[in-house]
Amino acid sequence: MELISDAKAVRTPELRRSNRRSVFMEIYKKRSVSKEQIKLALGLSLPTVTQNLQELEELGLIRKQGLLSSTGGRKASAYAVVNDFRVAIGLYLQKEAYSIEMIDLYGEVLARKSVSCSFARTDAYFRRLGESLESFFQEHAIDPASVLGVGVALEAIVSPDHQKVTYSEVYKCTGLSAEELGKYISFPVTLYHDSHASAEAELWARSDIKNAVLIILNHYMGGALIIDGSIREGASFGCVLEHMQLQADGPRCYCGKNGCFETFCSAYALERDAGEPLDEFFAKLRSGDEKTAALWERYLQYLSRGINNIRMLIDCEFIIGGHLGQYLTEEDFARLRALVDEKCPLKLGRTVISPSEFRSESAEKGAALPAIKAFLQRV
């Protein structure tokens, strides 16, 4: 009998934690919900719901937020999550600048800042990162106790534990650790390949994604493979589709090889070939300039070739994002789909190509999201 009693004693705290998390997540998902609605949705007794609501309020996780509309009788109090009870910081390091973004428990951006500063693996650079974060916290009156951590996105391959750069030609910082980079940062630092971070943001914004390849058309190209709703990576690196060779005698890539996808379809490649910034290029394109239209057709031919090559490995949705992606119209997407379908030897259905949910950079948010997701798992 004592063994049974002990087992029950062990299970009771676990059950309490489970009930509390269930109540919290019901409020989190519904955004605004009453005690009675929680009771009906979870099948818990009213005293159990009441107790958990009281505990969550005392912890500061939820608050009463007005009254729900009523069809008759007394209006019920509405409960909502305190969205900034905990926040996470995303840093995106690029060669000539870095950006800081703070998100709340719903992944909403609370504040953002960009700083012009060339990347360098030096103490001075790391000190400036720390100082920028400190001033960012002061500017926005952020309570340090609410910060879950700092996720850093950069154009580099990182270790599976997200604590070390294992390969970096763009930054020349192979071997850089989270500890070294975060020397002047007062919170836990986690490293992410910028493509992985962007995929995190895409999955957060679109819960319907099952199998997809995210193609990021930034200054440097990037990509991510999503299978069964999860980002997949290989034994030593993730999806580096930008280094798939499209033409053996093509332009020299920064990786040291020739004719990589990167050399034809990155934002830099288009600006290089056009001899002008993207804003000017697309302004000419939309005005009907024939020379610009011919160059754009050439670009789409290479982009469709790369997509078709990937589609031969996995027939899935393709999502186009990044800096260049924001300029694409539905007409561009229609032309791209048609070109991929022309190249595909298997006429089993049209290629699904969609625009990203983000019309600007998403790596900052994606680098911060894992800390939010981890917190929600342990409430």
Give me the chain's average pLDDT, please: 92
Number of residues that this document lists for the chain? 379
Closest residue by Cα to residue 352 from 364, 344, 363 = 344
State whether 47 and 75 are in the same domain: yes
Q: Name the domain boundary from 13, 48, 81.
A: 81
Tell me which H or E stretch contains 148: strand 147-154
State whether 339 and 288 are in the same domain: yes
State whether 234 and 248 are in the same domain: yes
State whether 330 and 212 are in the same domain: yes
State whether 74 and 118 are in the same domain: no
Banded model confidence at residue 238, pLDDT cuts 50, 70, 90: confident
State whether 305 and 244 are in the same domain: yes
Lowest mean pLDDT among 195-209, 277-291, 342-356: 342-356
CATH code of the domain covering residue 27: 1.10.10.10
State whether 61 and 165 are in the same domain: no
Question: What average pLDDT does range 215-240 have in this prediction?
Answer: 90
User: Is the pLDDT assigned to residue 326 strictly greater than 70?
Assistant: yes
State whether 194 and 292 are in the same domain: no
Query: Higher-confidence residue: 361 or 362?
Result: 362
Tell me which H or E stretch contains 223: strand 221-227
Which pLDDT does position 311 carry in this prediction?
94
User: Is the pLDDT assigned to residue 373 strictly greater than 70?
Assistant: yes
**Tokens 């919900």, residue located:** 33
User: Is the pLDDT assigned to residue 3 strictly greater than 70?
Assistant: no
Cβ within 8 Å of residue 123, ≥6 positions away: 183
Q: What percent of the chain has pLDDT over 90?
A: 86
State whether 17 and 152 are in the same domain: no
State whether 135 and 223 are in the same domain: no
**Tokens 């960012």, residue located:** 136
CATH code of the domain covering residue 258: 3.30.420.40
Report the domain count for the chain. 3
Query: Higher-confidence residue: 361 or 161?
Result: 161
Which pLDDT does position 4 carry in this prediction?
39
Which pLDDT does position 233 carry in this prediction?
86
Structure confidence by residue, pLDDT tens digits, 186-221: 999 999 999 999 999 999 999 999 999 999 999 999
Question: What average pLDDT does range 21-33 have in this prediction?
Answer: 95
Which pLDDT does position 69 carry in this prediction?
64
Question: What average pLDDT does range 121-143 have in this prediction?
Answer: 95
User: Is the pLDDT assigned to residue 360 strictly greater than 80?
Assistant: no
Query: 316 near 212, Cβ under 8 Å?
Result: yes
Which pLDDT does position 9 carry in this prediction?
47
Distance (Å, whole) CA 373 – CA 149: 12
Question: What average pLDDT does range 342-369 have in this prediction?
Answer: 91
pTM score, whole prediction:
0.89
Query: Higher-confidence residue: 361 or 292?
Result: 292
User: Is the pLDDT assigned to residue 7 strictly greater than 80?
Assistant: no
Which pLDDT does position 148 carry in this prediction?
97
Which pLDDT does position 11 carry in this prediction?
58
User: Is the pLDDT assigned to residue 5 strictly greater than 50?
Assistant: no
* Structural domain boundaries, residue 70: 2-81
Q: Name the domain boundary from 30, 65, 81.
A: 81
Measured in whole angstroms, the distance separating CA 144 from the mean position of its chain's CA atoms is 23
Structure confidence by residue, pLDDT tens digits, 67-115: 766 555 567 889 999 999 999 999 999 999 999 999 999 999 999 999 9
Which pLDDT does position 350 carry in this prediction?
86
Cβ within 8 Å of residue 214, ≥6 positions away: 195, 198, 199, 202, 223, 224, 226, 319, 321, 356
Banded model confidence at residue 66, pLDDT cuts 50, 70, 90: confident
Question: What average pLDDT does range 122-132 have in this prediction?
Answer: 97
Which pLDDT does position 12 carry in this prediction?
83
State whether 214 and 184 are in the same domain: no
User: Is the pLDDT assigned to residue 250 strictly greater than 50?
Assistant: yes
Q: Which two tokens stand for residue 320?
A: 């186009």
State whether 213 and 325 are in the same domain: yes
Structure confidence by residue, pLDDT tens digits, 151-182: 999 999 999 999 999 999 889 999 999 999 99
DSSP string, 81-113: E-TTSSEEEEEEE-SSEEEEEEE-TT--EEEEE
Q: Name the domain boundary from 59, 81, 103.
A: 81
Structure confidence by residue, pLDDT tens digits, 307-319: 999 999 999 999 9
Distance (Å, whole) CA 168 – CA 180: 16
User: Is the pLDDT assigned to residue 247 strictly greater than 60?
Assistant: yes
* CA distances for 201 relative to 26, 82, 157, 209, 355, angstroms: 22, 21, 18, 12, 14
